[in-house]
């Protein structure tokens, strides 16, 4: 699985003009399931994401995790993170999980996140979303957990 984390002061997702998820300070995470990903990859990625130290301490160093600062978590499904862009001028999405499997893994990830963290909001799987955010820093990290070959 792939997660693109952005430390934000605020973020929201709209579908058809209505807000479906919004947070204040925290992490906005674009989330993608790849072919072969299963629950163990989702669990590993969530564990890493919640513990990843991207928030500043009193000295300005990134020493605090989302859990430590009790920030919001906005999870947004985005299959395009799995794009293969190595050749040509149009991406291939072959590395992405099939839509039904990706939806299942996204829902699993959200359920596990809600079981572990107080503030979890989401985008809407399969919808055309308008995502807005204020990247704080900017701070952006790419995290992955790969299925075993």
Residues tagged active-site: 78-80
| Cα→Cα distances 41→20, 38, 46, 143, Å | 26, 6, 9, 11
Distance CA 92, CA 88 (A): 9
Query: Do 17 and 64 contact (CB within 8 A), yes or no?
Result: no
Q: Which residues of 46-57 are buried (b: 16+ CB within 10 A; e: fewer)?
A: beebbebebbbe
Separation of CA 19 from chain center: 18
- 3-class secondary structure for 68-85? HHCCEEEEEECHHHHCEC
Helix (H, G, I), strand (E, B) or coil at 46: helix
């Amino acid at each position: 699985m792939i997660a693109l984390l952005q430390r934000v002061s605020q973020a929201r997702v709209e579908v058809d003009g209505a807000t479906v998820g919004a947070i204040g300070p925290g992490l906005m995470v674009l989330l993608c399931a790849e072919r072969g990903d299963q629950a163990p990859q989702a669990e590993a990625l969530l564990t890493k994401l919640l513990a990843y130290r991207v928030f500043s301490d009193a000295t300005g160093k990134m020493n605090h995790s989302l859990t430590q600062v009790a920030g919001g978590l906005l999870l947004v499904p985005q299959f395009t993170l799995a794009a293969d862009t190595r050749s040509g001028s149009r991406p291939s999405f072959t590395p992405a999980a099939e839509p039904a499997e990706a939806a299942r893994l996204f829902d699993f990830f959200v359920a596990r996140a809600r079981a572990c963290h107080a503030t979890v909001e989401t985008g809407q799987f399969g919808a055309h979303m308008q995502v807005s955010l204020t990247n704080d820093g900017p701070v952006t990290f790419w995290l992955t957990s790969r299925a075993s070959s």
